[in-house]
Amino acid sequence: MSSQPRCPHCRHFLYLDRLTCPNCEAELGYHMLSRQFYGIRNNQVVIDGRTWYTCSNREWECNWLVRDDAPAGRCFSCRLTRRRPAANDTVALEKLASTEEAKRRLLLQLGSLGLPIVGWDIKPGGLGFDLISSLTDGKRVMIGHANGIITLDLAESLDDRREALRVRLGEPYRTILGHLRHEVGHYYQGVLLTDDAAWDECRELFGDERVSYQDAIKQHYTFGAPEGWHKSFISEYATMHPWEDFAETWAHYLHITGTLQTAAAIGIRLDATVTNLRDADVVPQESYESEPIQQLLTDWEWMSQAFNRINRAMGFRDLYPFEIVPAVRKKLAFMHEIVTRAPLTLEEQIAMAAPWDAEQA
């Protein structure tokens, strides 16, 4: 995600979910470690002297490559999926494809931020995904996070169902990627807060997560968000419980950094001489690791206004329909601190996520 992906043959721009080049029709595979597309022949390609194969889930639109000694012929992203629909449930598997694409985007962003990604199959409590569908047998799917496992209902990939849920919950924004970013925030709260001082600071900002979650749910869905919630929270859902406030704020940190990174990669910038509102251009950065939170949020304030105007010109809702108030800025500053405190190198990430790949880092 740090550079604009292109076809290795004709250099045509590619979206991250492409299986073939739309220009030259070459068969392609995506190499997560280098963040590059490679041309494949007979479902394989040699990269730095090592053979990589297409993922065994390619028929369900996974374009990632798999090293020849990886377990079960599945790419790193697909190995993180602990449960999925049965092989004969083709309707649910079609919905799985779009959800898995969002998951791959999430994993690339987590990797670019230097965050640890240890799978459920490597370590108890590691990150995993149960991607199942309530459409299969009509049974309700309990979405959420527990002990590293994120459960999603694939029915939410249907636009009408997701929009109905968004309206029912009073949310201004709801996407599969946004949902994944929220749920993974629950996982990283336990991973990144490693000492009493960090937990104390977290509780000072978000509240004490040890209060009853069930009581908080009942309170929230009976009475709704408290009056004046927007002065302290990024969303109504964030008011329900300190866990949800953390996860909502975490999701917005990923929204902001991911969108600015993409803007930087494709060269979007705001010209001060055109806007007449600043004395310097707004130039998004691919990484804000060494920048203070003020620089990140200032760039985002200007860029999000521009993106919102573009969306409105097309008749859509605002791309980012949220207000970042001072209390939320402090919470986002906490996220920035714990994410950039000690980012892992690529070698460290590989060793933790896939020990059999460490020798090739």
3-state secondary structure 82-125: EECCCCCCHHHHHHHHHHHHHHHHHHHHHHHCCCCCCECCCCCC
Residues 58 and 161 in one domain: no
Question: Does 295 share its domain with 251?
Answer: yes
Q: What is the pLDDT of residue 165?
A: 64
CA atoms within 13 A on the CB side of 79: 21
Q: What is the pLDDT of residue 279?
A: 79
pLDDT over 70 (residue 341):
yes
Quote the CA–CA distance of 72 and 287 in Å, as a whole number: 34
Residue 342, pLDDT score: 76
pLDDT(357) > 70? no
Quick one: pLDDT band at residue 166, thresholds 50, 70, 90? low
Neighbours of 125 (CB within 10 A): 13
Domain boundary among 75, 96, 131: 75
Which pLDDT band holds residue 74 (cuts at 50, 70, 90)? very high
264 lies in the same domain as 230: yes
Write down which residue in 159, 181, 203 finishes a domain: 181
Question: HSE of 138 in the Cβ direction (CA atoms, 13 Å)?
Answer: 0
258 and 171 share a domain? no
Same domain as 151, residue 286? no
188 located within any domain: no
DSSP reduced 3-state for 67: strand
The answer on 234 and 257 residing in a single domain is: yes
- Taken in order 264, 267, 272, 277, the sign of the CA dihedral is negative
The rounded mean pLDDT for the chain is: 90
Cβ-contact 298, 326 below 8 angstroms: no
Can you give the pLDDT at residue 1?
46
pLDDT at residue 101 is higher than 90: yes
248 is a domain residue? yes
Q: In 113-241, which residue ranges form alpha helices assigned H by DSSP?
A: 134-137, 159-169, 176-192, 196-206, 213-223
Query: Out of 160-169, 234-243, 271-280, 339-348, which region has the weakest mean confidence (pLDDT)?
Result: 160-169
Mean pLDDT, rounded, for 97-110: 94
pLDDT at residue 358 is higher than 60: no
44-58, 81-95, 103-117, 211-225: range with lowest mean pLDDT: 81-95
Same structural domain for residues 198 and 285? yes
Q: Which pLDDT score is estimated for 195?
A: 94
What mean pLDDT do residues 313-325 have?
Answer: 95
Bridge-based pairing state of the strands 144-146 and 149-153: antiparallel
Give the confidence band of 158 by pLDDT, cuts at 50, 70, 90: low
For the ranges 35-49, 103-117, 341-355, the lowest mean pLDDT is seen at 341-355
- Structure confidence at residue 167 (pLDDT): 61
DSSP SS3 for 52: strand
In the predicted model, what is the mean pLDDT of residues 17-34?
96
Residue 45, pLDDT above cutoff 90: yes
29-38 mean pLDDT: 94
Looking at the fold, whether 160 and 300 belong to one and the same domain comes out as no
Domain annotation covers residue 358: no
Nearest to 234 by CA among 282, 182, 199, 190: 182
Instruction: State the pLDDT at residue 90.
Output: 81
Domain containing 84 equals 80-181
pLDDT category, 159, cuts 50, 70, 90?
low
Query: What are the CA-CA distances from residue 198 to residues 79, 111, 203 (Å)?
Result: 31, 22, 9
In a domain, 340, yes or no: yes
**Is residue 71 included in any domain, yes or no?**
yes
| Last-in-domain residue among 55, 75, 95 | 75
User: 121 and 224: one domain?
Assistant: no
Domain assignment present for residue 359? The answer is no
**What is the number of domains present in the chain?**
3
Is residue 161 domain-shared with residue 259, that is, in the same domain? no
Whether the pTM exceeds 0.85: the reply is yes
pLDDT above 90 (res 170): no
Tell me, yes or no, whether 199 and 341 share the same domain.
Answer: yes
Query: 68 and 16 share a domain?
Result: yes
Predicted confidence at residue 51, as pLDDT, reads 95
What average pLDDT does range 40-61 have in this prediction? 95
CB atoms inside a 10 Å sphere around CB 189: 20
The whole-number pLDDT of residue 14 equals 95
CA distances from residue 278 to 30, 153, 282, 306 in whole angstroms, order as listed: 40, 45, 8, 14
From CA 350, how far away is CA 56, in angstroms rounded? 21
